[in-house]
Structure 1
Amino acid sequence: MAPTLLLLLALVALVIPGPGGAQVSIHPIEAFLPRGASMQVNCSSSCSENLNLGLETQWPKREVESGHRWKLFELSDIEKDSKPLCFETCGTIQSSASATIILYSFPERVVLDPLPTWQQVGKNLTLRCLVDGGTPRSQLSVMLLRGDEVLYRQPVDVDPKDPKEVTTTVLVSRDDHEANFSCRTELDLRPQGLALFPNISMTRQLRTFDLPVNILKLDTRDLLEVGTKQEVRCSLEGLFPASEAQISLELGGHTLTSKSRNHGDLVLASALVEATAELEGTQQLHCVLELADQTLRAERTLSIYSFPAPDLTLSQPNVSEGSQVTVSCEASGGAQVVNLTSAPPGSPSPKVQFTLTARAEDDKRVFSCSAALNVAGQVLFKTQTLALQVLYGPYLDESDCLGNWTWEEGTQQTLKCEARGNPPPHTLNCNRKGDGAPLPIGVVTSVNRAMNGTYVCRAESSRGNVTRDVFLRVVYYDFAWIIILVTMLVIVVLIITAAMYFYNRQRKIRIYKLQRAQEEAMKLKAQAPPH
């Protein structure tokens, strides 16, 4: 390098006395130079006799200039620390002065070891940094960084020929995910009037993961019927980073088309399973979650079955009253008939039947048949129902139409008379015996005594007709006799009241006269002279 790279000049020359007080000096006395640099050294003397002045060094040199008592030399390709020596021969006496050259160099390599592809949260991570070269080591330090945060700092104070390895451990947390780590060296030459020279390694990014203590949760029903569809869901909470997790569902060795999503620390996958006849039997459902170098699995056994509803039949679904009807129920696929309405009790079997005589009460009667199938230790049931139609009638019984009615004249009443039958009777009317006067069925707004009598109610349908006698008694009152009776009652009350009045009056008069007579007698007795 050019002489302009001289970095530090000595302020005080080293003085070595010579004969007669002669001195030799070297300038600069100390210098800091980059490795391979050049520098100029001035040797001077105060010798006044015959002077022989020179420079002793291991580096290539050339004399640049000279004067009466000084010489300027240029040293080149300086590769290590050294002490050049200025010497003189003053007459027959020799003397010398030396300077110190200290070289500095930047590290040739600052390398942070590769980080693990993934590091689990809560585990210690060892950071290793290799520093090769760099001088002077006493002023060289190395730091391990997370972003701009200094995790560890250490001076490099060993032989520069030996690479220096610096290590530290970090307890990894979720906050370290995608954090940048690096190694940095600093050569501090500020005490020598220079600067602080940094050198940084390649940045390495860390990826962290955290697995919960929870296990994969696989939700679905254990039993699936052929021809149905069922959603299966697999989830895990407490996972980090959930967005990096890969989750899939497999059934019978085939990967299902699933949808996955994550929210916070939750990851969820769902798929729709269609139970087909080809899958009938026992199948294994798997959920596989992969994160970092970890794989979590969950497994569940599904039983896919076929269970058709039992076949319930009526020999005649529409029959006339009194006809024979056979009710039959048959199960298939290994199922057993366990219950058939009105069937005699017995052990479950694939087929159950019985015969009945249809009655009017059986119209719209619902028959039910239940079958049971054992699938993987669970008993499943299916039920089939049918309704029987019985043609009958018409009927007009006491429960349908009361035979005796008592109404009060002038009131509003309702005649409840309804015939039964299948098909329902198309005609129902009531007429009085003798004159055929009609009696309205339903609401009668005002009852009168002329409605009194016995009526014949007749119902007709396509299956015949039926009649029923109904007696209606109308209660009424004769208000003329009531007025006469009330008048006579009033007169009797008045006579009795008058008699009681006159009797009491005479009684009070008698009492009064008796009291007056007693008072007069007392006065006369008081006026008579004493005997």
Structure 2
Amino acid sequence: MASTRANPTLPLLLALVAVVIPGPGDTQVSIHPPKAFLPRGGSVQVNCSSSCENPGLGLETQWLKDELESGPSWKLFELSDIGEDSSPMCYDNCGTKQYSASAMITVYSFPERVELDLLPVWQQVGKNLTLRCRVDGGAPRTQLSAVLLREGEPLSRQPVDGDPKDPKEITFTLLARRRDHGANFSCLTELDLRPQGLGLFSNVSEVRQLRTFDLATNPKLDTPDLLEVGSQQKFLCSLEGLFPASEAEIYLELGGRRLTQESTNSTDFVSTTALVEVTEVFDRILLLRCVLKLADQILETQRTLRIYNFSAPVLTLSQLEVSEGSQVTVKCEAHGGAQVVHLSGAPPGPPTPQVQFTLNASPEDHKRRFFCSAELEVAGKSLSKNQTLELHVLYGPRLDERDCLGNWTWQEGSQQTLKCQAWGNPSPKLTCSRKADGALLPIGKVKSVKREMNGTYECHAFSSHGNVTRDVNLIVLYYHQNNWPVIIAMLVLVLVVLAVSVAVYIYNHQRKIRIYKLQKAQEEAMKLKAQAPPP
């Protein structure tokens, strides 16, 4: 506890006028000073005087006193080791009567102890916190007050009343906030003796640090209720809006065993994740717990997990690759309580552990996919798994009208593509050659059609499972060329152009002659008119 003490001073004389109490016969007793203000344990000189002719002066007090001096009508006493407020009394036995006068001594002292009670280890944000400040001693109480400090700044002030002999507990109420986390609080007492000309004296308690937290809801657990043997499952637990997140601890437990996990803490968010490989050693039913610890709070979220074992159905074909016309048995089996609910190609029926049927393989069954689905009910939920297989059928080549047309008619010089597709398994090879001379016709390639390609071709498809042929007729359309009509037409065109040119020339020549003759006639007329005598 830090403290500031005032040095003891000599008695303060606050009034220079004596208290006068008149008695019979005008006898008066006075005490000086009538008021005194001094520190506890201090001393003061008191003068008693009387107007009686033969006074019997004395001083009545509870404190130690020494008579320092005296005269015919006065006495000077010194009071020492004054411990509390008191009223010493001067008296005079004048004749058969006693006369008296009292003074008021006020003692001041500083608190012997100022202590702020221990704060709670953690205080929840948004709730009121009561801080208690204990003050021992200190007088006069009318001039003593207590102040609550936060980081040295005053928050609240209250008077300290009551008897200085009794310890006093001052309470302050504070609404806890996030920003109060880590803040230092203390209690300060102030004894204001400035009205008595002394000053303001303070004592301060030791610092107490406050830790606040904010935690409203339970953590959120993200995981499915069902776990399959042989699978890997990621568990996630998180909580946002808490404070301070950096001091929170979060972890996952599965079946009472804490999981290896990775945790993340940010400003107001925490999360943890764990990756679990589900094996046969797990019990069928396990309790998953997410536990979060912050301050003196423990929150948890639980979820019951059911472990199940569900193997995919077994789909089999008696042969995966068969020749056309062979029999194939398709069978689907479910295990572990599961039921086969669908097998493509099988007649409809109720779910059973096994379903099968037989078919005669045809070319249409080549690359046919068979689909089998099984279901298992776990904890009221229906789970399903599927399997697929593909059948391969071997068959000889096919050359159908749809895939290889028998007649083609092309225009000479055009760009064409011969589309002729042979089907079969294994895939057959295809060639098309002209029957007349064996010339090959390209398949699937774009060519400029020539008249020499005209003819009938035999297309032959063959593989290890047989062969097939098909005739293809190709007709090329073209025209014979004759140059005489073109020559005659050009000659006629030249003659027409020549005739038109001659006609235009003759027309222009005649037009110029007429214009010339007209100009000459006009000139002759002008001359004759000029030679004629005037009238």
- TM-score range relative to shorter protein: 0.7 to 0.9
Q: How far apart, in 2, do the equivalents of 1:34 and 1:250 lie? A: 68
Query: What is the deviation of 1:306?
Result: 1.9
In structure 1, the partner of 2:143 is: 139
In structure 1, the gaps of 5 or more residues are 491-531
Alignment correspondent of 2:503: none
**Contact 2:19–2:102 (8 Å) recurs in 1:** no
1:257 and 2:248 equivalent? no
Corresponding position of 2:328: 325
1:448 and 2:450 matched: yes
TM-score normalised to structure 1 length: 0.76
CA distance in 1, matches of 2:306, 2:38: 83
Match of 1:154 in 2: 159
Equivalent position to 1:197, from 193, 201, 205: 201
Does 1:104 find its partner at 2:108?
Answer: yes
Contact kept, 8 Å, 1:412 with 1:443, in 2: the verdict is no
Q: Contact between 1:280 and 1:305, CA under 8 Å: does it hold in 2? A: no
Please, which of 303, 307, 311 is the counterpart of residue 306 of structure 2?
303
1:289 maps to which of 286, 292, 302: 292
Q: Which residue of 1 aligns with 2:475?
A: 473
Kindly indicate whether residue 367 of structure 2 is the aligned counterpart of residue 364 of structure 1: yes
Are positions 1:31 and 2:36 aligned together?
Answer: yes
Name the residue aligned to 2:9. 5
> How many angstroms apart in 2 are the aligned matches of 1:413 and 1:98?
142
Map Cα deviations across residues 203-235 of structure 1 (whole Å, 9 max, x no partner): 4334344443x5542222222222222222223
- Structure 2 vs 1, CA of residues 69 and 362 (structure 1 numbering), >3 Å: closer, same or farther? same
Contact kept? 2:50, 2:92, Cα under 8 Å: no
Q: Percent identity among equivalent residues?
A: 64
> How big is each residue's C-alpha offset from its partner over 1:363-401, in whole Å with a ceiling of 9 and x where there is no partner?
222222222222222222222222222222233332332
Q: Which whole-Å CA distance do the structure 2 matches of 1:144 and 1:442 have between them?
A: 99
C-alpha distance in 2 between matches for 1:52 and 1:275: 109
The offset of 1:26, in angstroms, is: 6.8
Q: Residue 163 in 1 paired to residue 204 in 2?
A: no
Residues in 2 aligned to 1:308 and 1:4: alpha-carbon distance in whole angstroms: 96
Structure 2: gaps (5+ residues): 1-6, 493-535
- Is 1:391–2:394 an aligned residue pair? yes
CA displacement, residues 328-370 of structure 1 (integer Å, 9 cap, x when unaligned)? 2222222222222222222222222222222223222222222
Q: CA–CA distance in 2 between the matches of 1:467 and 1:10?
A: 143
- Once the two structures are TM-superposed, the CA of residue 67 in structure 1 deviates from its matched residue by 10
Q: Distance in 1 between matches of 2:286 and 2:138?
A: 67
Tell me if structure 1 keeps the 8 A contact 2:32–2:103: yes
1:6 CA drift (Å): 0.8
Q: Return the alpha-carbon distance in structure 1 between the equivalents of residues 296 and 413 of structure 2.
A: 99
Q: Please state if 1:409 is matched with 2:425.
A: no
Match of 1:460?
Answer: 462
CA, structure 1 residues 256+170, in 2 after alignment: closer, same or farther (shift >3 Å)?
A: same
Q: Is the 8 A contact 1:413 1:445 kept in 2?
A: yes
Q: Kindly indicate whether the alpha-carbon contact (under 8 Å) linking 1:43 and 1:54 is maintained by their aligned counterparts in 2.
A: no
The equivalent residue for 1:439 is: 441
Question: 1:519 aligns to what?
Answer: none
1:361 counterpart SS class:
helix
1:207 aligned partner: 211
| Cα distance in 1 between the residues matched to 2:95 and 2:375 | 132
Alpha-carbon separation, structure 1, partners of 2:135 and 2:394:
107
Alpha-carbon offset, residue 325 of structure 1: 2.1
Count of residue pairs the alignment pairs up: 480
Aligned residue identity for 1:338: V
* Deviation string, structure 1 residues 131-158 (Cα, Å, up to 9, x no partner): 33222223223344445233242251x3
Alignment deviations for residues 473-515 of structure 1 (CA, whole Å, 9 cap, x no partner): 233333449959x99xx9xxxxxxxxxxxxxxxxxxxxxxxxx
Partner in structure 1 of residue 500 of structure 2: none
Q: Which amino acid aligns with 1:37?
A: G
- One-letter amino acid of the structure 2 residue matched with residue 151 of structure 1: S
Residues 8 and 39, structure 2, Cα contact 8 Å, conserved in 1: no
Deviations 1:30-75 (A, max 9, x none): 4333222345x3759899x999998765444556789999987654
- What SS does structure 2 have at the residue aligned with 1:278? coil
Residues 1:479 and 1:86: Cα distance change in structure 2 (over 3 Å): same
Higher alpha-carbon deviation: 84-93 or 226-235:
84-93
Deviates more, 1:159-168 or 1:374-383: 159-168
1:5 match: secondary structure: coil
Which amino acid in 1 is paired with 2:199?
Answer: A
Q: 2:347 aligns with which of 344, 347, 363?
A: 344
| Structure-2 change in CA distance of 1:310 and 1:44 (3 Å) | closer
C-alpha distance in 2 between matches for 1:336 and 1:138: 91
Name 1:522's counterpart in structure 2: none
Aligned residue number for residue 499 of structure 2: none
Shift of 1:251: 1.9
- Cα 1:449–1:145 shift into 2, 3 Å: closer
* Structure 2 residue 425 is the aligned partner of structure 1 residue 422: yes
Question: Are 1:80 and 2:84 matched, yes or no?
Answer: yes
Change (3 A) 1:401 1:110: same
**Partner amino acid, structure 2, of 1:415:** L
CA distance in 2, matches of 1:482, 1:457: 43
Q: Check the 8 A contact 1:43/1:55 in 2, yes or no.
A: no
Q: Which amino acid aligns with 1:135?
A: A
